[in-house]
Each structure stands twice: as C-alpha cells, then as structure tokens.
Amino acid sequence: MCGRSLTFRWLEYNAGLRPNSGHSPKEVMEGCYGGAEPPPHIEPQSRGDGPTLFTTRDMDTEFTNAGLTTRTRFGWRAAYLLASVGIYMVDQSSKAWAVRALRFGDERTIINGVLDFIYTENRGIAFGQLQGSGAFGRWFFVALAIAAAAAVLFYFLRTPRNDDRVLGACALLLAGIAGNLTDRARMGYVIDFIAVHAGSWHWPTFNVADASISIGALLLAYDLIFAGKKSKLSDR
C-alpha cells in the first residue's frame, strides 16, 4: 500500500473521501517509510485547525520530466541508429557503383602503390576468408549475421546513454553486419572492391561494411579490455 498508492491515499484524506482509521496521514507515511522523511514530492499542509495533512507537490512536473528523460534516452540512441543507417547506405551505394564501374575488369588506381579499386565477389566471410562453402555456407552465414545483429542490438539498447564509445561501436557493427547481410541474402556473395597494398604486401580486398565492422569491433574491444581495467583500478 506504500509508494504510488500512498500518494492518492493522502489526496483522499485531504478531500475527505477516506474515513479516519485512527492514524494520521503522517503516521501512515512513517509506517510505510520507516520514520524517514517524506518523499520529495510530498509536503505537509495544514487544513484550518485540523491535523497536519500531506499533499502532492509538482506531480505534473515530475511526470513531464520523466517523459522528457525517456524521450531523451530514446532520441540519443535514435541518433546513433540514424548514423548506422547512413553508413549502411554508403556501403550499398559504393557496392552498386563498383558493379557498374569495375565489374568487367576496369580497375581504378586511387593512390599509386597503396590503394586500388578492384571488383571481387566474396562467397566466404570478411576479407575473403572461407571461400567455396556453397549454398549451405551462404545461409549459414546469413543466420550467423542475423544472430550477431540481434546480439549487438540488444547490447546497444542496454548500454547507458552516456557511453558514447560503446554506442558508436554498436552502431558501426550494426551497419557493417547489415550491409554484408543484404548482399549475401540477395545475391549469395558479398561485393568487395577496396584493395590496400604496400609493395608486395596486399591486404585482403574489403568493402565499407568490412571497415565499419573492424572499427566497431576495435572500439568495443578497447572498451571491454582497457576501460574495464581502469574501472577495477579506480575501485581499489
């Protein structure tokens, strides 16, 4: 009977709608709160020569602030999700461009000896690994990507609003997973076209989604490893 219902019991006492049980509203309050001070939204109010009663203070304001807090938290996450959608659109647009401009062997040198655009079709996982897995591998990777996206989204929704590094990492991961998932579900392979190399060393060809996943994973790993260590040191 304590908590929110007690507030309305006080209102009923003030309005004369509840008969006196032999205990003043203050005694009722102290029974509920163990003799502690009344909640911040409760203040004593005297009604003529009668006993001191209690009424609510600024209840509408409190409900409004609670609504604003909920909207602010949702809006903050929505901004990260909007950025994730933007990265996803960049990934899909760049792949559509690669199909039109590079598919038939038209390679583009962006930085001589460092960066080239070369069209490739990746039927494995990120950076061209696990090729030749067939139809089973295609749908296995689709299911794996869906599970990974669901896990990241759950972690994203559970992350505190002020943890920008983790929220940003989750947004990058979601964008990258969704980008490659779209390719694999629609075509059975992922389009890669960014080739980075230095001399005889060549990094596996990748795309915008792969880069987004890599950066997001690094940020998340940094937070889990180094931020966790700092938290333990500060607790000592």
Catalytic status, residue 58: no
Distance CA 221, CA 73 (A): 24
Q: How far apart are CA 121 and CA 119, in angstroms?
A: 7
Residue 184, token pair as written in the block: 């694999």
The catalytic residue among 49, 116, 210, 223 is 210
Dihedral pair phi/psi, residue 182, rounded to 5°: -60, -45
Say which amino acid occupies 183: D
- Please say if 192 is a catalytic residue: yes
Cβ neighbours of 119 (radius 10 Å): 21
Task: Given the residues 106, 163, 192, 235, select the one marked as catalytic.
Answer: 192
| Residues recognised as catalytic | 192, 210
